[in-house]
Every structure is written in C-alpha cells, then in structure tokens.
C-alpha cells in the first residue's frame, strides 16, 4: 500500500496541510500513521478528502460531514443519515436556485455588452432584485 506524507497529500488534493491536520483532529480523516516522525496517510485518503471538499461546497458543516463519513451501517445510523440528508436537500435546492439566478444575471450582463457591473442597465440598486427579475 502506498502512503502519502502530509505535504504530498496537501499538494495532491490542493488543501493546506493545516486543514488536513484539523480534519484529522475533528475525525474527518483517519489518524495518520507515523513514519520517521512524519504523518502519512494511505493514498486512498485522496478520495476521502475529495468527498470532504465536495460536501463543504454543498454547504455541509464539518460536524455533518463527520457524521456522514463515520456513520456505521446499523439500522439506527442509516435512519440518522437519511434524516440528515432529508434536512439538507432543501438547502441544496435553494443554493442551486441562487446559483442559477446568479448565472442568469452574468449571462444577461454579457449579452448587454457593457461588461461593467457598476454601469450595467440590467442591474438595479438592489442586487437581490436584479437576480430575481
């Protein structure tokens, strides 16, 4: 099995080494093995970090991510995971709606041709109003 030092893992996943240490402390990453005094993780940790980053971008808190990643397979844990996911879905839907509105505003500004948000006639004084127009 191949192991990655903290610096190599950080470069591979484009995350600061301090974040990896913090995530390990919080239980999101498995405890690192020590080789010659340095932290090393199995190469499979790259996938786990990708999942953590994706969940963060989706708006999950570190505590929620830890629960999802460390859930056992008992029926009770499965129910808890489903409840957490059910609570999160409306938040994700709202995030998608807001992102689509922002995308449309940017596309409208590009179509306008002015390419200056401060002077664009499509934007109003209330950015929220422009995004929902």
The CATH class of the 3-70 domain is mainly alpha
Per-residue pLDDT tens for 70-117? Answer: 776 666 667 777 888 888 889 889 989 999 998 888 888 777 777 676
Q: Residue 79 corresponds to which tokens in the numbers above?
A: 């129910």
pLDDT class of 50 with cuts at 50, 70, 90: very high
Provide the residue ranges of all domains of the chain, joining segments of one domain with +. Answer: 3-70
3-state DSSP helix/strand/coil % of the chain, to nearest 5: 60, 10, 30
Token pair 């996911």 in the structure block, residue: 85
């Amino acid at each position: 099995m191949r192991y990655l030092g903290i610096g190599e893992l950080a470069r591979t996943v484009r995350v600061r080494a301090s974040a990896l240490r913090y995530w390990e402390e919080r239980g999101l990453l498995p405890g690192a093995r020590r080789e010659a005094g340095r932290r090393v993780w199995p190469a499979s940790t790259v996938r786990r970090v990708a999942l953590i980053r994706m969940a963060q971008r989706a708006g999950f808190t570190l505590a929620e991510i830890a629960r999802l990643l460390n859930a056992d397979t008992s029926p009770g844990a499965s129910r808890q995971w489903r409840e957490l996911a059910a609570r999160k879905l409306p938040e994700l839907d709202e995030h998608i709606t807001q992102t689509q509105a922002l995308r449309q505003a940017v596309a409208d500004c590009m179509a306008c041709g002015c390419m200056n948000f401060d002077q664009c006639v499509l934007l109003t004084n209330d950015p929220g109003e422009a995004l929902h127009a």
